[in-house]
A = this chain, B = another copy of it.
Amino acid sequence: MANSKKQQLLFAALELFVKQGISNTSTASIAQAAGVASGTLFHHFTNKQGLIDALYRWVKEGMSDGLVTSLNLLKQNSDALDHQTYQEALFRLWFESMNWAVTHPLHTRFFYRYYQNQQVTPSLQSNLENRMLQQLEEVLMLGAKNGWLLDMPMDLLRHHCYQMYLSTSQFFLEQPHLWQNPNYQQSAFKCFLQSIERA
């Protein structure tokens, strides 16, 4: 079946890329790991770069999907929003993101490692990136408008939040058992919240 082989190839590539790096992984070995002939890979993807980009898109969309739900919930009730509800919404967003990272180690590692690396076509990368940053900005605007957040330039704030999400998820990804530890879980969020709240 067409789609099945394509999926198998993507998944095999994900595993190998994370384990050994993209440039150390030959298309032949991907095909083999997927249980597919080497020529078949080039039926589904125009070339190795095409496979890399498709994989990146696939992974990134998986990451976004989880967030979009939480984000929409928050934006629906944006008219009558009090400070506490906003904080709780931020927490849910944060929590879901971390949870997704810890439960999808391969995806997260791949994304994190090839984020801003020339091995993924840069234009594709920044397109997907911008979509996510834009959504994040909407959420932050809600808080800034109400004076709940630090008075700082929005682009810097947005960058900071995004990077804190990336770096914290990376921390828990490396040590998943710490994500089960309430002290770590709460400290991480407190640190995040404190970094952006108006003092």
Interface centre among A24, A157, A187, A197 (most CB of B within 10 A): A187
Chain B residue nearest in CB terms to A171: B159
Copies per complex of this chain:
2
State whether A118 touches B171 (Cβ < 8 A): no
Report the separation of the CA atoms of residues A196 and B194 in the bound assembly, to the nearest whole angstrom.
8
State whether A150 touches B190 (Cβ < 8 A): yes
Q: When the two chains form the complex, which single residue of B24, B150, B160, B170 contacts A118, counting CB atoms closer than 8 Å?
A: B24
Which residues of chain A in 103-118 are interfacial with respect to chain B, using CB atoms and an 8 Å cutoff? Answer: 112-113, 116-118
Instruction: Contacts A24-B118, A118-B20 given; indicate if A196 touches B191 (C-beta within 8 A).
Output: yes
Contact string against B for A residues 155-171, beta-carbon threshold 8 Å, 1 for contact and 0 otherwise: 01101100110111011
Report the separation of the CA atoms of residues A166 and B178 in the bound assembly, to the nearest whole angstrom.
23
- Give the distance to chain B from A148, nearest Cβ to Cβ, in Å: 14
Report if A127 contacts B (CB, 8 A).
no
Report if A66 contacts B (CB, 8 A).
no
Q: Which 10 A-B pairs have the closest CB atoms?
A: A21-B118, A195-B195, A163-B167, A152-B187, A23-B23, A159-B171, A191-B195, A194-B195, A153-B184, A194-B194
- What 8 additional pairs, Cβ within 8 angstroms, besides A150-B190, A152-B187, A163-B164? A21-B118, A21-B119, A113-B118, A150-B194, A160-B164, A163-B170, A166-B167, A194-B199
